[in-house]
Amino acid sequence: MEPSRQPKALSEALQEIEQATSPVVGRATDYPAGWLIPPHAHNKHQLLYAVRGVMVVQTDAGRWVVPPTRAIWMRAGMTHALRCVGEVHMRSLLVAVDAAPQLLNVTQAVGISPLLRELVRAAMEVRQPYVAGTRDGRVMRLILDELRALPVLPLHLQMPTDARLLQICERLQQRLDDASTMADWARHLAVDVKTIQRLFVKQTGLTFGQWRQQARLLRALELLATGEKVIDVALALGYDSPSAFATMFRKQFDQTPSQFFAGS
């Protein structure tokens, strides 16, 4: 790792970010496998982007799994923690709230276009503070323009607040090959099936089956990113065959697993 890109103490990094006065600030940091960043928040929006490795981002609003070529738009003030799956080369952007596109007012997973990818890399070399109208200023201005076109991706898992649903979701995340049906859980919790279904949709925006599939999908991204074979991932997550898993994956991303990770 280059010395300037080694992880800094969190308090030092936060102070550096909070004191930056430019509309956009680039920050490059390389993290070793398994690195944990404890819960923290920024007074700026942040585009969390890894050119290598997978990030698992946890907030009170849920969990995101972000593979290479994708990113998280983290709204200002949201407390979040991060876990690195494999070695992670993070290239993040800190964007002043009054400079960010108004459409980007929620935390979400987003796609990164080839143009934005190169702009992010260029931003890492921009000296702070930069001057509007200069080459550096125009690069950062173009970044703000590109942020307006970020496509939202289905990489989020919303956690419920109801204690009964939390019991179900925590169990499913521990055993993603668990084939228990909603009726099984209804009997176990002594709750009507319709009540569980209604609460799932109300609190997560997904049905029971959709939530479990999303949990499996996000875990699959973690496993595939570490080099696990598709057949092993499919069986570990409870799919009958690799083809059944591949069909689900393609339905979500319109790509096969190998195509999805091709840009990493």
The CA-atom distances, in angstroms, between 262 and each of 24, 39, 89, 90 are 29, 31, 17, 18
Q: How far is the C-alpha of 22 from the C-alpha of 34, rounded, in Å?
A: 32
Question: What pLDDT is attached to residue 202?
Answer: 95
Which residues, in sequence order, are CB contacts of 127 under 8 Å at separation 6+? 136
Stretch(es) of the chain classified as CATH 2.60.120.280: 15-147
H helix intervals, the chain:
10-19, 114-123, 135-147, 163-174, 182-189, 193-204, 208-225, 230-236, 242-253, 257-260
Question: What pLDDT is attached to residue 13?
Answer: 62
CATH code 3.40.50.300 for 158-260: no
Question: What pLDDT is attached to residue 11?
Answer: 63
Question: What pLDDT is attached to residue 10?
Answer: 65
pLDDT along the chain (264 residues), means of 10: 61 64 92 94 93 90 85 94 92 92 82 93 94 95 91 88 93 88 93 94 94 91 87 90 90 83 62
Question: What pLDDT is attached to residue 18?
Answer: 64
Q: How far is the C-alpha of 254 from the C-alpha of 200, rounded, in Å?
A: 26
CB atoms within 10 A of CB 245: 23
Question: What pLDDT is attached to residue 7?
Answer: 76
Question: What pLDDT is attached to residue 1?
Answer: 45
Pairing of strands 80-95, 108-111: unpaired
Between 3.40.190.10, 3.10.20.70, 2.60.120.280, 3.30.70.141, what CATH number should domain 15-147 receive?
2.60.120.280
Stretch(es) of the chain classified as CATH 1.10.10.60: 158-260
Task: Give the global pTM.
Answer: 0.79
Question: What pLDDT is attached to residue 103?
Answer: 64
Residues 99 and 23 sit within 8 Å (Cβ to Cβ): yes
